[in-house]
Structure 1
Amino acid sequence: MGKGAARFGGKSGFLPKPREIFKQPYKHVVYQKEPDTGYADGILHPRGTTRELIRPPVVTPEERLLRTARPPKKVPGESELQKMAAEQRANIKQAELRRKYLAESYKTEVSRLERLEAQERRRAEEQAKVEQAAREYKASHAEVYTMPTVESYLDGPFIRPRTEEEKEELRLKREANRRARELEQKQAQAVKLLELYNAAANFAVTDEKLKEMVDSAFSDRKLQAVKDMLSVDLSGLGSQPSPGEFDKTVADVILGTVNKGPSLDAVEDTLSGFNELILETAQTKMEEKKMELKLKAEEKQRQLQQLQEEILREREQKTEESEQKNE
């Protein structure tokens, strides 16, 4: 951004204002002269002017289309198009597309302007109704001659009651918040269930497994680790995780697992068939690659065979030529 951008409020520039498609009126409108405007009766107006307001001429979209994109006087037939050059046929087709798109743009602009006019009429009608209600409103004697009292405040509601639209909007917001909380709770429960399922591989469900876990828990290496842990000063540790927990967390984050088992995303991909689709795609690509390599090998073998045949023919030809010279 250059130094001159400060003149534009810190912006590098502004986009140009869009041009109006219909600079002149596109339909006939009955105009009504506003009261108390123009020249009064008996007052001469300047020479070269008129007492009546001159409205711009009306140009309909059809007339504008004829002016800007007039259709050709003669439309070539199919046989004539076939005889023309490719460039000339392309130009004719491009001109037809331009006329078609221009007509569609005019139609779209007319519908947009009609919607704006309808909105303006509705807005004017509503404003007229509000002004009429304000003119017809008559304040009561209590509102004119008295001040509000505590009793008047206590008689009416302290807050404005919600409209039906506000009630519906509030209901939808509460419903969305409730569904979002339920989704978060279900996701947390699914992760915990998956952690429990993955950790079940280390549970002692048989006597052999229990004996193995007891032997490993009371081995010399475990006892030494327990002694080292008891000899550590716990005052300086704070709430830092142990090295084992930290390593396990880092491994889960890198590998995308939970307790060395599949994560929730992996389970969802398997249940939805995404992993199977990836496997099928990989197998298809592998088969295509094998087929391509096989075709290349066959092509190379064919070229090699053809080269050997050419070499043999050249040798035979040279041998025949040498024999003919000797004779």
Structure 2
Amino acid sequence: MGKGVLKYGGKSGILPKVRPVFKRNPIRAKTAYEIEKEAHLEHGFAEGVPLPKKTGFEFHRIQPEKKVISVEERIKLNIESKAPQNVDESKLTQDQIWKLKRDEIRRDYLKQAYLTEASRLKKIDEIVAQQEEKKKHQTELDDYEESDAVKLTLPTVDSYLKGPIMRNRTKEEQQLVEQQRLLNRRVRELEVEEKRADDLLDLYHAAANFITTEEELEAAITEAFEVNFSKFDSSQNIIEQRLASAGPGYATVDYNERLITDHVLGEVNGKPGLATVKDTLSGEKERLSRDAQVAINQERTDASS
């Protein structure tokens, strides 16, 4: 095999052109791109040149557009209309039956060829349309030229260096910023004050168990080591077992339960929380109690009547 054959994929000779499936008449009308492309072509006979004459053929000065025949029309004209109708195969010979089946197979193949070729041409048209759209867009970008107004008003590096890089806030914007800063500061101060109030309330509740005098200290020692020694001993054993256990969760389960209960009920170690104290001091709790009592009395009166 020579080098010349390898250039053509190992195939010797010249391959024949593929026969077009749709001859003479197109299956669709010309697109705007095709019409624009053919508008620049000069074809036909010029003015003043006599048209040639030929028997059985008519010449035109400008070639007319070919008639469009769609795929559906071709199938109906070339396939469905030529199919034999109401054929009694019992009266035919084997050779005639074979010819009928052969023609039917050919018609099926031709129909499939029509549909496949139409699908292929449609994909080609879509690809060409996309390429033309990209080319048109690129041409518009290449031909784009800034107007004089844009050139005169477009900021330059010198204009940026002469003036401030950032504009100053307006009077209204500055007032909004100051109010937002004040609000943020007040919110942080309120959070700090509420945290201090919670800590103080917690300390107040815990102060009930504090030992502040010598008499209370002696009474507590006597209670722990003489009166309730068994309770003290059992509590000590429980603490030692929890400390010796492998899991830290067992030692903190009671503490976590108390935290969850206090958070749900709004309490501090089982005592009234800050929200309850606020409602009591402001009289809101008393007002709610009175309203509830009035509603209960009203329901009882309505029920008795």
Report the TM-score, using the length of structure 1 for normalisation. Answer: 0.38
Query: Based on CA coordinates, which of the two structures has the bigger radius of gyration?
Result: 2
